[in-house]
Structure 1
Amino acid sequence: MKVLFASTKEQEEKINELVNYFYSDIFPYYYEDEEIAEFKSIGVLKIEKHHFEKIGTLKDAYQVIASLQTIIVILEEKIHKKMNKRYEELFNHNVQILNKFTIPFPFFYTQFNSNQKISTESFSIYKSAANEMLI
């Protein structure tokens, strides 16, 4: 007998939170607003109910969470400095994990070019606010 533990609602929320982080804190440093809007329209990182059905166990959910977090860390570091070949291999491995769960992430490591990145001071409708004031 084998006992499996189903993924939790909190894990699903964390996955959605990481996807939102891509759109608000990663993509704006590499792509223009029009390109990011196109990513949304074609369903990049769009996770629907059937994805969560495929991510059925705790192990699966943790794999997806870890893959998203790893890709985020690599791309955040790539904003500030040149990365070596090992990071590209790690990036590709984690993209393969997302593909295994049919989560659309149709990018190659080289598409996140730090030489062509958008200025950190630029404005984007997708970027998180640097500060918020409640009125």
Structure 2
Amino acid sequence: MASNDATGSDPLRLLDPLLGPWVAEGESPVGPYLCRRRFRRILDGRYVQMDTHWEYVSSEFDELTVFGPDETHGLQYWSFSSDGDRSVGHLTSAGGRSDQAVVFESLAPISRFRYSYTPIGASGVIVFVVESRSRTGWIQLLEHHYRAA
């Protein structure tokens, strides 16, 4: 994947390096976490579904995200979570990240967010970063390193 240009007949091809199961674990402000993500093509390959399951010491959280083409053959996502939140985002430029990064941006009632997935070569690692837009620029909220599960 040379860039995050989603034009062409299959904008979902950008997500091909993410297909399959992934797991990350570590520490968070609320204690240790385990997060599992699974990307898979659905509906005759026309969409990619990501199932996410977070486990914390005293709680769990689920998210279902569907990635697909928008009206201009770009790429967008629709996300729904177990806490009732939902969001819609669109593919955007890498924002200074690696050319390998697949970056989405969404506008939520509280802020504008950017989510990036960066496969690290053939290492079997994906770096996932969430950022929030402030008046002075992008602020990184979290960074997780996922390994193939």
Per the normalisation by structure 1, the TM-score is 0.30
Per the normalisation by structure 2, the TM-score is 0.28
Bigger relative contact order, structure 1 or 2 (CA pairs below 8 A, ≥6 apart): 1
| Richer in strand (by share) | 2
